[in-house]
Structure 1
Amino acid sequence: MKKLSVFLLIFVMILGMATGCSSPEPAAPSEAPAETPAETPAESVVIKVAHIVSEETATHRGAVAFKDYVEKESGGTIEVQLFPNGQLGGDLQLTEAVALNTVQIAIPSTAVLTAYDPIFGLLDLPFIFKDVRAGFNALDGDLGKKLDEKLAPVGLMNLGYSYNGARSMSNNVRPINEPKDLEGIKMRVMESPVFIDMFKYLGANPTPMSFGEVFTGLQQGTVDGQENAPALVYASKFYEVQEFYSLTSHVQSYLANVMNADFFNGLSEDQQKVVMEGARKFLVEAEREDEINDNIETVDKLKEAGMTVNEISAENMQKFMDALVPMHDKYKAEFGQEWFDLIEQYNN
């Protein structure tokens, strides 16, 4: 038995030596080091741009040019989707949608921004700017900067101010030559305290109504008239339901290009630069010049479409201004004289 145990022990030792002396298996080739990734490309995003007017307007043409520029210059990392004609709601609804980031950019009338801060009503005061260029300079300068600050608390930023033409009055009752001609006329106005006050001071019956309801309201006689710039009157085909158009040019009307601030801040620096540059070039500068030319041309188109168009004499224009002096005094007390002093710098 002992002999067998010794034999087994010797056998195990010999086997262990053989195993220890055998050549080790070749190590598996190590994996090649991971390739250093290139700089992470900017995340692809969608920007929804919405407004209430038709595709035939300078506003929409500016939006199309903005889309083309941003998509190209961003290298395809930004897709811009356009929603004209109030597809996603009226000005107030669109501005609220931007605050909620369900729409990223809207182009509302500045009158709508009074819902966020009453001071925006300053821009809708009649005859507040001596001409359209004075308004541009003010909005590109200190006035625009001070107004834009009012949007930050609600999560909005402004990419710049577009132009919506000089507002004039249409109606189905009579030509408007002086304030007394407005007596008894139901005039559709924007949902803004300033516009309501304006037409009360002028002797009309102001009726607040969203833009999307205006054509039907005129057609059905809910209101007798409305006031908008020639290009918008023509693009909206109000000539089909309005007889008279009077070139009162009582307000130089502006649009804001409001964007959701958090969305903008979430873009890469390059994307932010492209959006800012595109907005300045096309939503603001090109749109303004296009709108000015559009309004000149469309006065004749409105005549050709059958409207009776009348200009206002200098004497009668002064009557409008005089009738609205108490309104200016009211808003100087409400907004503060310093705002009017700031505007006056750009009127000199």
Structure 2
Amino acid sequence: MTLNRRSFIAAAAAGAAGALLAAPSILGAAGKITLRMGHPHPETDSWQDTALWMGETLAEKSGGEIGLQVFPNGLLGNDPTMINSVRAGALDIMVTGNPFFTSLAPELNVLDLPYLFHDRDHVARVLDGEIGDRLRTDFEGTGLYALALWETGWRHVTNSRRPVETPDDIKGLKIRTTPNPAHIEAFRLLGAVPTPMAFTELFTALEMGAVDGQENPTTLILNSRFYEAQKYLSLTQHAFTAAPLVTNAAKLDAMDEDMRALLIETAQEGARRQRALNVEREVTSLAKLREEGMEVVETPDRKAFRAIVAEPVQASFGEEFGPELIEQINAAA
């Protein structure tokens, strides 16, 4: 029997769910702890590579006491499903884009404000410094503990209808966004039709024409094969998306102190490794997307995009949470 993309993923998800239920609990294991980690990105993505590195490192440094099972490609459900699974204790660890956590920890929305970050040095100073530490504490009371802040990366626009060089070119396009209010407001201001949906549903929506385009880093555009349904790529670099790596807070508290410290240390080292991988792959992924036939607008009018979205979206955040956090991030540049 031949399986198409959708049925293959459904079959794999069923098998993975069975494996998840059959695996020993972090709390119930005698001796060895088996952690189960899920994420929505493909197996070719830096999240998967870094998760496998984490598994190897945890096993080595714990003397085989900690094992890590990794379920990529949304095999355990879409982004909100996996978040809820970790909160409920049915899944131990997951990582996904920051926008999917902002309903639980609304101040995290600051990281997705358009044109907030100047460059990757700025990103690192924020995510790995006092601001990042503070934002991770916003998960307190949600049932989650943020082990580290990984990344999705710089976001760019793709679509199937026309090249996007100026804000006028994006008007009327139905663009899949994350559920983050900052993303939705930015594309509304640009005259697009923002359409939030889970990442695991995106390929089918593009393929079926339910949306005209989407916005993600080039690494993810390549790894998810979006070029099969998208002709035009515009390097708008309109936002940078972090990716909290979270675990169940109660289960983490129940771990042996040394193992808990090892898990947090490995997760945070993994964040630095994962971001370094993305820096390398941003270059190679763009070249490969061209090879796959995508037409690339390398220098869209970012100044014009910024003029429309940056100030009003940041002002909306400031009205709700105050200006201090944005000021601190700007100062970190």
Q: What secondary structure is seen at the aligned counterpart in 1 of 2:247?
A: strand
For 1:71, give the aligned amino acid.
A
The amino acid that maps onto 1:184 is: G
Residue 303 (structure 1) aligns with = 290
Q: How far 1:270 moved relative to its partner?
A: 2.1
- What SS does structure 2 have at the residue aligned with 1:111? helix
Number of the residue aligned with 2:323: 337
Q: Which amino acid aligns with 2:314?
A: H
In structure 2, what is the equivalent of residue 346 of structure 1? 332
- Residue 115 of structure 1 aligns to a residue in which SS? coil
Once the two structures are superposed, residues 267-293 of structure 1 have per-residue CA deviations (whole angstroms, 9 ceiling, x without a partner) of 1122112212221222x1111100111
Match of 1:254 among 242, 249, 258: 242
Where do 5+ consecutive residues of structure 1 fail to align?
A: 1-40
Equivalence for 2:16: none
- Counterpart Cα distance in 2 of 1:121 and 1:153: 18
Partner of 1:101: 89
Aligned AA (1:300): A
One-letter code aligned to 2:328? L
Aligned match for 1:319, one of 299, 304, 312: 304
Alignment length, in residue pairs? 304
Aligned AA (1:312): T
- Please give the alpha-carbon distance, in whole angstroms, between the structure 2 residues aligned to 1:301 and 1:280: 30
Aligned equivalents of 2:133 and 2:65: distance in 1? 30
Q: Over aligned residue pairs, what C-alpha RMSD do you find?
A: 1.4
Deviation at 1:42, TM superposition (A): 7.5
CA distance in 2, matches of 1:114, 1:277: 24
The offset of 1:261, in angstroms, is: 1.4
Q: Which runs of 5+ in 2 are unaligned?
A: 1-28
User: Which residue identity is paired with 1:197?
Assistant: E
In 2, Cα distance between the equivalents of 1:120 and 1:269? Answer: 28
The question of whether the paired residues in 2 share the 8 Å contact of 1:201 and 1:327 is answered with: no
CA contact (8 A) 2:137 2:146 kept: no
The amino acid that maps onto 1:183 is K
> What letter is aligned with 1:334?
E
Q: Does the CA-based 8 Å contact 2:159-2:233 persist in structure 1? A: yes
SS at match of 1:103: coil
TM-score where L is the length of structure 2: 0.88
Once the two structures are superposed, what CA deviation does each residue of 1:231-250 show, in whole Å capped at 9, x if it has no partner? 00000000111000000011
One-letter code of the match for 1:344? N
81-90 or 147-156: which moved more? 147-156
**Code of the aligned partner of 1:341:** E
1:221 aligns with 2:206: no
Identity of aligned residues (%): 32
- TM-score, scaled to structure 1: 0.85
Once the two structures are superposed, the pairs formed by residues 212-291 of structure 1 within 5 Å of their partners are 212-282=200-270, 284-291=271-278
Separation in 2, partners of 1:346, 1:274: 29
SS at match of 1:154: coil
